[in-house]
Structure 1
């Protein structure tokens, strides 16, 4: 029986502080991880999209996991994104991440998942192979507009039978798809957690039955995310709706506005405004922010009560 309670709460997907020369700043990363832990998150995720995981070498991803795990210890769960091209590479990377201290893996789609229809057997075999490494696995429904794949309900039902699967992060950003994924997961494996990954659809996704959340938004506004999640979870919907309307959603619309790829730079800019990190640098070819984006972010953070 899988422990669904382990995933009830907010897991913050972390940005990756970098030096002006675009190298991971592990000192700032540790400070940032401790800052998030102090805000009551149940977990942190590194090497995912928010953390520029696809832009890092294997050695850098391992170093990121080791630094964060050393900082937070067993206080919070440390999940690492698993971004690979094929099964053998994924197993090699998963093993290295496990040995560095990762407590779980967020499973990004691989190129073989692209195209329709996607045979569920292909997905199951990939998860089974990575599962042999011995870490809990989090499936990932990510809208294709952000470079991901959305598993059909029959694939989710098959995947739910993979022993190490502990959760599904649902980031389709579509209410009907979200509900279909939720229902397929609940029917096949009620002990597998449904995690909201919908940064600009958070409140609604909580109301629709998420057990927890794994969000880049929480990498900047962890406390506010917890407030809204807890209010929805406890049935205080009017309070959650007010917090969402007045504070959460205006910031989400800036952080994850077009172009969405700039969300990494926006989150880092916000962390610098809060004094958590010293540099705002994203690894090329990603771009930094212009003055208008910085001004919009500062205004949204003030409205959210962060500044």
Structure 2
């Protein structure tokens, strides 16, 4: 009988362990057996026994997984065992490329409600010049559900054209079904995006088995690498069990977590990097950005970096340089701003108001606002202006600001 102690059992793993005459295998009851592994066992007529679990945490992966399509990672006899976990940020070229601060791009409209591509171009250039490490269009902050399919394509095309290869582009491809996701990924490939981000299917809740198959089918067919996106506030939660099973697909290279749950994010790194040391984990919440980086996150997709890119980038870099005193100061100083913008009516209007305070004409919202809500956004603009003024920015709209005596975080900057 062949014994397998790996926490994730795939068809490829079984093929590498079982000889032609092996008809019995013993697997730990806590191990996750992927659907492909079940098919393999059934087709080969292999009987499965469940004995006492030995130490889990060893998985066999390829030293240099094939990057053809979304096929599961190749297996070898080399074991990756990471008792103390860490790894990631710079552990592979892919992990390095998707480390740092990725800005979730807002969409700017003109007076008629159409996308204002000229102002968006100015805004994207400003972000890149400010030092952000990547761009993230068609995410939650990018209002992808309020755009048509053609507009979503146009937004990414514009950003690719303006970017000219300066920073990686992680484009949201969360369409309504597998076919449309793959078609969007193919389009992104053609125009030069670097990877796609993908949430669980929205509106209809599906079983965990179906959720696995949804991502697996896309991983088998996507021409671009995939970052899983967990945001349970808006969609079905992407459990650690499913993400662990999906490690079988090299095309899936990491996770963005916007759950606002720091223990979950840390457990994601601990659990998945045991098997894939270069697995990318990006934090989607600025409130716990510093502790997540200290614990090993690659960085974050941080909406506030669209308003104060200089400060968010510095926070990331100070954390990486272990200048924790300055990093803590920056982390605490951004909290009033993020808390204020999250209160903005109809997300992401608070963040778009912040971009307006920095000097960009963001245009009218696509969501319908009451007169009272519009008045609130005017007050919000003034309060955001006061906070940015304290940070050292020269901004518009700051009126009647309280005296705080807080030190400036940046050299006095004119608004653009």
TM-score where L is the length of structure 1: 0.89
CA contact (8 A) 2:200 2:238 kept: no
The structure with higher relative contact order (CA 8 Å, sep 6+) is: 1
- The answer as to 2:224 corresponding to 1:224 is no
* 2:111 paired residue among 17, 20, 27: 20
Q: Is the 8 A contact 1:20 1:279 kept in 2?
A: no
CA shift at 1:219, angstroms? 1.5
Equivalent-residue separation in structure 1 for 2:315 and 2:258 (angstroms): 18
Q: CA deviation at 1:104?
A: 1.2
Q: CA deviation at 1:165?
A: 1.6
Kindly report the root-mean-square deviation, in angstroms, between the aligned alpha carbons of the 2 structures.
Answer: 2.2
Q: Which residue matches 1:141?
A: 230
Which is worse superposed, 187-196 or 92-101?
92-101
State the 1:101 CA deviation. 2.8
Q: 2:188 aligns with which of 97, 122, 141?
A: 97
What is aligned with 2:342?
256
Matches within 5 A, 1:125-274: 125-130=214-219, 132-142=221-231, 144-145=232-233, 147-245=234-332, 247-257=333-343, 261-262=346-347, 264-274=348-358
| Higher share in helix | 1
Partner residue of 2:121 out of 30, 34, 53: 30
Identify which range, 97-106 or 12-21, moves more after superposition. Answer: 97-106
Question: Quick one: distance in 2 between partners of 1:153 and 1:176?
Answer: 12
Q: Secondary structure at the match of 1:48?
A: coil
Residue-pair matches, total = 299
Alignment of 1:68-79 (within 5 A): 68-79=159-170
Q: Label 1:279 to 1:6 Cα distance change in 2 as closer, same or farther (>3 A).
A: closer
Cα 1:196–1:202 shift into 2, 3 Å: same
Preserved contact between residue 130 and residue 310 of structure 2 (Cα < 8 Å): yes
- Residue 127 (structure 1) shift: 4.3
DSSP 3-state at the match of 2:248: coil
The answer to whether structure 1 residue 283 and structure 2 residue 373 are counterparts is no
Cα offset for 1:20? 1.6
CA contact (8 A) 1:200 1:256 kept: no
Query: 2:357 touches 2:384 (CA, 8 Å); kept in 1?
Result: no
Q: CA deviation at 1:258?
A: 6.3
Whether the aligned pair in 1 keeps the contact of 2:344 and 2:380 (CA below 8 Å) is no
Contact 1:124–1:162 (CA under 8 A) maintained in structure 2: no
Can you list the C-alpha shifts for 1:54-94, whole angstroms capped at 9, x where unaligned? Answer: 11111111111111111111101112111212111211222
Q: What is the CA–CA distance in structure 2 between the aligned matches of 1:240 and 1:197, rounded to whole Å?
A: 18
Q: Which has the larger radius of gyration?
A: 2
Q: 1:257 to 1:202 in 2, by over 3 A?
A: farther
Q: CA-to-partner distance for each residue in 1:186-210, whole Å, 9 max, x for gaps?
A: 1231112111111322222222321
Q: CA deviation at 1:13?
A: 0.7
Question: In 2, distance between residues paired with 1:113 and 1:236?
Answer: 45
Pair 118,34 (structure 1): closer, same or farther in 2 beyond 3 Å = same
Q: Deviations over 1:105-136 (max 9, x none)?
A: 11122138736x623x6335434425523112
- How many Å separate the matches in 2 of 1:214 and 1:28? 22
Q: 1:118 aligns with which of 179, 199, 208?
A: 208
- Contact 1:87/1:129, CA 8 A, preserved across alignment: yes
Give the corresponding residue for 2:147. Answer: 56
2 CA distance for matches of 1:49 and 1:19?
A: 20
* 1:235 CA drift (Å): 1.4
**Normalising by structure 2, what TM-score?**
0.67
The answer on whether the counterparts of 1:107 and 1:140 sit within 8 Å (CA) in structure 2 is: yes
Asked if 1:109 corresponds to 2:161, the answer is no
Provide the C-alpha distance between the structure 1 equivalents of 2:344 and 2:115, rounded to a whole number of angstroms. Answer: 26
Q: Retained in 2: the 8 A contact 1:12–1:215?
A: yes
CA distance 1:57–1:228, shift in 2 (3 Å): same
Shift in CA distance, 74/48, structure 1 to aligned 2, threshold 3 Å: same
